[in-house]
Each structure stands twice: as C-alpha cells, then as structure tokens.
Amino acid sequence: MLRPIYYDTETTGVKPQSDRVIEIAAYDPLNDKSFVSLVNPQMPIPKEATFIHNISDDMVQEAPLFKDIIPSFLDFLGDNFVLIAHNNDAFDIHFLRNEWKIAGLELPKWPFIDSLKWARKYRPDLPRHSLQFLRESFGIEANNAHRALDDVIILHKVFSSLVDDLPFTTIYELLNEPAKVTHMPFGKHQGKLLSDVPKDYVLWLDKSGALEKVENQALKQALDKLGFFQEVK
C-alpha cells in the first residue's frame, strides 16, 4: 500500500523552464513528520511573486541551493510512497523535474497524485476546486495561504475529506486509468460515435501522425479496438 506524502513548492514565477523553486515542504501524516526548506533560486524574486507568498530575496539569500536539499528530501521520503500536490500535473512536478535537471539528475519515476484533478473529476458539484475554496467548503480552519508547509497541512486535511478512507493505491489507479473514448473528440466528425466515423478519415488521421500525439493515445486505442486498423483480406 502506498504511503501518502503531501508536498508543495513556492516559486519565483509560473514557468518551470525559467523560474525556480524558493521553498519546498512536505508532510508525512502516517509518521506525523514534516520537511520544509527555503531555497536560494540564484535569481531575483519578482515583487508580484513576493506579494503572493511573502518570500523575499533577503529571506533566501543564505538558504541552500536546491541541489543541496535533494539528499535530505530523499531521506525524508523514504520508500513506498506517493507524492500528492494540488495542481501537481500542471505545476509542481514540472518544477521538481527542472530542479533535478539543473542538479544534473533525473527526477525518479515516483507515483504522483494531483488532488486538483481528483476534485474536478469526483466533485463536479462544486463550482470551484482551488485549495482555499475546498478548505472553506469542508469547514477547515484558515491557514497562512501560499506558504508551502501551511498549504501542505491544509491539503492533507482537504484531501482526506475528499477521499475518506479510500486506499491511496486505488486513488492512484483511478486517476491514471486510460480514458474511455466513445465519440470523436475533434475534426469534421467531432461528436460522432467512433463506430460512425468513416474509416478513410481515421486512416488519414493515422497517416498524418495526429493519433501519435500523447493526448490522442486513448483515442487510437479505442479506434483500434473497433477494428479501424485491421487489414482487409
């Protein structure tokens, strides 16, 4: 069974290829221990970023570089865990990957759970899914929003409310199961049942390389199951 570890990053901006991590925090609820460290990004922190998380250049001037934090972060993680962050797939994981790359390393192939993706998928009744809106919806006390450790503690409480006692291995599998495609998602036959899409159009898409895109892999698998790529004998 996977052991949940919640984590969060604060950064100089929103572009992982040019911005840097300035704080990282994690919380292991099973062992009730936490990890938090400011990080020297080796670049100025824009005023608009400081306005959000209240981390200034002076605060990180004497902080360690990210590459020097990696060993202690790995020790904290241990093994047999899953990392959980809110908006992980579009934000935090990309910053982690880039920081590992700058350190001359490759980010390990850890399992990750995006709690924002889970909330959007399984709580469509809620009008918004930001961490703070979910906190308010579940009646969880306010925190020092946008500082990494505070956000991680709130995320633990919010996600626990979202998933109840569902095992984290099951949560991970549910979020990573292939999407079931039944209708054509784009093009001139958009909205049609896949079985009603002309075969020559599907073969043209395949030949053009459109079905090789990562976002279209589930579509290609569904078309293949329907026999679109079987040769006529």
Write the pLDDT tens digit of every residue in 150-192. Answer: 999 999 999 999 999 999 999 999 998 776 889 999 999 999 9
DSSP state for residue 2 in the 8-state scheme? P
pTM score, two decimals? 0.78
Going by pLDDT thresholds of 50, 70 and 90, the confidence category of residue 216 is: confident
Structure tokens of 101? 């790359």
**What is the overall mean pLDDT for the chain?**
93
Q: Tens digit of pLDDT for each residue in 99-155?
A: 999 999 999 999 999 999 999 989 999 999 999 999 999 999 987 767 889 999 999
From CA 11, how far away is CA 41, in angstroms rounded?
Answer: 9
* 26 backbone dihedrals φ, ψ, rounded to 5°: -150, 155
Measure the N-to-C terminal CA separation of the chain; round to a whole number of Å: 48
pLDDT of residue 213: 80
Q: In this structure, which amino acid lies at residue 13? A: G
Structure tokens of 148? 């990494």
Q: Tens digit of pLDDT for each residue in 3-19?
A: 999 999 999 999 999 99
pLDDT of residue 231: 66
pLDDT of residue 214: 64
Max CA-CA distance within the chain? 73
**CB within 8 A of 35, min separation 6: which ones?**
24, 25, 26, 27, 72, 73, 76
Structure tokens of 231? 């040769």
Whether pLDDT at 90 is above 70: yes
Residues of the chain with CATH 3.30.420.10: 3-176
Judged by DSSP in three states, 1 sits in coil
Cβ-in-10-Å burial (0-12, 13-18, 19+) of 22 comes to buried
pLDDT of residue 221: 87
Please state the CATH superfamily assignment of the domain spanning residues 3-176 in this structure: Ribonuclease H-like superfamily/Ribonuclease H (3.30.420.10)
Whether pLDDT at 215 is above 90: no
Going by pLDDT thresholds of 50, 70 and 90, the confidence category of residue 233 is: very low
Between 44 and 142, whose confidence is greater?
Answer: 44
10's enclosing H/E stretch is strand 3-11
Instruction: Write b or e for each residue in 179-193: b if 16 or more Cβ atoms lie within 10 A of its Cβ, otherwise e.
Output: eebeebeeeebeeee
Structure tokens of 117? 């993706």
pLDDT of residue 232: 43
* Active-site residue, 129 included: no
Q: Which of 146, 156, 183, 189 is catalytic?
A: 146
Judged by DSSP in three states, 97 sits in helix
